[in-house]
Structure 1
């Protein structure tokens, strides 16, 4: 009995110990799993953070790109300003009906001079029995004052038509500038070589090359100056007509073309008749002189033959 009781007590102890060991193992496994879960969660958070960071960096890059684009848009204003600084030659013609073309011509000249321009040509035809008064001017107006001056000119009377055209010569200007710079550099180099020439032969060769370069340089500079004048000053042809007259215009159909052609023919024939009337006295005088000379020669020839 005592042995059975001892065995039962040992079994209970062993069972208790085994149960404690199992519970301890389970608790340890649970802690390990929790630690792993925490570690995994931390790792996942780190990994998520690692993914978010590049996105933030990418966002910064996109923001930088946006800022750069915005900067590009701001720079676009400068580009537009540079585009507005392109070299452009503006020409045009204006026809205006006024009360007094002669007085209006003087007013137009004054407006042009006040704008800083000049008058390249001016023709005035006063009133006669055959034709009304008219005037025509070639105005050179500063390009930046063209619109303002043109608006002032329109106030002179009734505008018949206005025609303006612009030609971009930026490429031509840049080409001339580049060639001038190149030739100027060549001329400076030749001048330097001339001071270092050690023989008469070298000096003559350098002078010949220098003379050629200088002629080309002066020609290009003259072209550039003319081009600059055309760019800086717009050319405007102004025609002023009296009231009751119509400015000549190009025909727009067959009948107006026929009338224009007939008028041109009549005007041409009238001009030829005027020219013939001017030349007739000279023709008659020359004919008389030629006839007298021919008569003298003929008489002299007859006398020689008779002798």
Structure 2
């Protein structure tokens, strides 16, 4: 009986010992990596959160980091309008109402040989570009629209990282300068600080310019008078003949204009040449007469004979 009780106790102790071992193993496997199971990885800060508002969309990089895309948009628009100068005024008002501006404006007033036209360099908020272009196209007949985009996200991130690193370096140098007691150390620190501060200012200027390009799209708007838009390539013989005849007439007209410009000067030059020629000729005749009238000049006269000698 005692043997049965002893064996039973040994078996119960072994079972309890094995259960504890399994429990410890499970706990160590769950926490072996130093973290709890099911806890999400921490998400890093949003890259480009301080970038200009012209960034479009976002891409998810590894680790859940959201990258704001930085896009620079440029383009050109050509319109035909009955009154190009008035259309340019309306275009300026449309862009300014959208929060943009006009960086450059060139106008050609109407003349006897040339119709009016206008060219504007517009800076339009990128998030309002589509709506603004739609309103601009209503000012006349659209001849041509060209829009291109360039992703500068990598460049923006590189500039941000370099600015941050240089700012940290400048802060450390300022701290060392405050603690420096030796004149030589102070001069060395000031020299290094001056170089890093100049580089930091340059990088910040580049970043600000890039942010401005991202935030405001650059569009060149050309407005010409109706009917001035260049014609297409002739599609048949008669069209080519008409184009050739027009080119010939234009060429001959250009020659006539050139002749009209040169003719007065040519006449004046001819008069001056004649005057100079007359003066030179008169001077030569005077010298010849003077030479003949001088005695012993070497001129001889033939003797005259009469009949009977």
Q: Which band: TM-score by shorter chain? A: 0.5 to 0.7
Match of 1:185 in 2: 168
Q: Report the TM-score when normalising by structure 2.
A: 0.55
- Any conservation in 2 of the 1:137–1:237 contact (CA below 8 Å)? yes
1:133 and 1:103 map into 2 onto residues whose CA distance is: 10
2:99 and 2:233 map into 1 onto residues whose CA distance is: 33
SS in 1 for 2:169: helix
2:173 and 2:203 map into 1 onto residues whose CA distance is: 18
1:201 and 1:124 map into 2 onto residues whose CA distance is: 61
2:58 maps to 1:82: yes
Measure how far apart 1:85 and its partner are.
3.6
Match of 2:109 in 1: 126
SS in 2 for 1:155: helix
Match of 2:78 in 1: 95
1:250 and 1:193 map into 2 onto residues whose CA distance is: 72
Measure how far apart 1:99 and its partner are.
1.0
- Any conservation in 1 of the 2:78–2:222 contact (CA below 8 Å)? yes
2:172 and 2:231 map into 1 onto residues whose CA distance is: 58
2:120 and 2:203 map into 1 onto residues whose CA distance is: 30
Match of 2:179 in 1: 196
Bigger fraction of residues in helix: 1
2:137 maps to 1:154: yes
1:175 and 1:85 map into 2 onto residues whose CA distance is: 14
Match of 1:18 in 2: none
CA RMSD of aligned residues (A): 3.3
Match of 2:95 in 1: 112
For structure 1, list consecutive stretches of 5 or more residues without a partner in the other structure.
1-67, 69-79, 285-307
Change (3 A) 1:187 1:161: same
SS in 1 for 2:139: coil
2:228 and 2:200 map into 1 onto residues whose CA distance is: 51
Change (3 A) 1:227 1:81: closer
SS in 2 for 1:225: helix
2:146 and 2:203 map into 1 onto residues whose CA distance is: 31
- Any conservation in 2 of the 1:160–1:247 contact (CA below 8 Å)? no
- Any conservation in 2 of the 1:194–1:206 contact (CA below 8 Å)? yes
What is the CA deviation profile of residues 58-83 of structure 1, one whole-angstrom value per residue up to 9, with x for unaligned ones?
xxxxxxxxxx9xxxxxxxxxxx9423
1:189 and 1:110 map into 2 onto residues whose CA distance is: 50
- Any conservation in 2 of the 1:93–1:237 contact (CA below 8 Å)? yes
